[in-house]
Amino acid sequence: MSSQPVDKRPTQRFSSRVQDYVNYRPRYPQAVISTLEHACGLTADHLIADVGSGTGFLSEVFLRNGNSVIGIEPNLEMREAGEAYLANYPYFSSSDATAEFTRLPSASVDFVVVGQAWHWFKGPVAAREFKRILRPGGWIVLAWNARRLETTAFLREYERVLCEFCPEYGVLNHQDQDQRTLSDAIGLPIHTANIPNSQLFDRAGFLGRVFSSSYTPEPGTSGYVPMRTALIALFHQHAVDDLVSFEYDCMMYFAQAGKI
């Protein structure tokens, strides 16, 4: 079985999967905003740095709220996809930089937000950079859609297929991140929130969603056809009205940097 090597550079891993990522990855629920308004005092006047902004899904939540957003994204293809996806938002800009070296001035933003990209970062190094660019009393916010693993027979069987066909699965996902490990990495007390989220897929959408993940085999590798065959069988076994449901918890973690 062949797949992408584990040591492939994180900034390049999604270059060949950008379109599937744009088409099939879950968006963030708008309740992210109300959660941060209540917990962190977020207003539309706050300046947001979205680090690892990728295709712009998390940035869009804040742009809809009226915030200005600076996207930090080192992957060219993902950055260009994000710029195209958010082209109608005049208060979005993006930069070729990394979580560990954002190139932003010190004390220049009110919130640093991170979506699905957190597990690619060198956590403590990135956290130091986040604290540098935050204004006093600013907030670090991590948020991602964690797929539920066992709430339905379909999701349980899907998990089994991933374990069987994807050697990198479990190494390259963020399911093992929790309040304690994140607090240790960031060096601040962490608060949490959990927002339900979901997607419905037809067969083409289901396959696109699966192969948008960097740990799945790509076309042309020996593992691709056997996994695709297993996925199609799984879909037809569990589809209701030709649809299957991915259920998620949008996990939120937020920490306030020190005040002067």
Q: Each residue of 15-59: pLDDT tens digit?
A: 557 888 889 999 999 999 999 999 999 999 999 999 999 999 999
> Which residue segments constitute the domains of the chain, with CATH numbers given?
10-147+175-198+248-256 (3.40.50.150)
Please report which confidence band the pLDDT of residue 214 belongs to, taking 50, 70 and 90 as the band edges.
Answer: confident
Helix then strand count (H, E) for the chain reads: 9, 7
pLDDT, tens digit, 9 for 90 and up, residues 183-198: 998 999 999 999 999 9
Mean pLDDT of 234-258: 96
Does residue 72 carry a pLDDT above 60? yes
Half-sphere exposure of 216 (CA within 13 A, CB side): 25
Nearest to 159 by CA among 146, 167, 150: 150
Report the mean per-residue pLDDT for the chain: 90
Q: What is the DSSP letter of 149?
A: S
Percent residues over pLDDT 70 in the chain: 90
CA triple 28-19-103, angle to 5 deg: 65
Q: Which of 119-123, 161-165, 187-191, 240-244 has the lowest mean pLDDT?
A: 119-123
Nearest to 127 by CA among 109, 141, 137, 110: 141
Per-residue pLDDT, 15: 54
pTM (two decimals): 0.87
The token duo for 202 is: 């037809």
What ranges make up the beta strands (E) of the chain?
47-51, 68-72, 92-95, 109-114, 134-147, 191-201, 244-256
Nearest to 158 by CA among 243, 225, 227: 227
Point out which residues pair with 95 in neighbouring strands.
72
Per-residue pLDDT, 180: 85
Neighbours of 63 (CB within 10 A): 20
Q: Which of 20-24, 52-56, 149-153, 243-247 has the lowest mean pLDDT?
A: 20-24
Please report which confidence band the pLDDT of residue 135 belongs to, taking 50, 70 and 90 as the band edges.
Answer: very high
Nearest to 158 by CA among 245, 249, 250: 245
The token duo for 238 is: 């569990």
Per-residue pLDDT, 177: 73
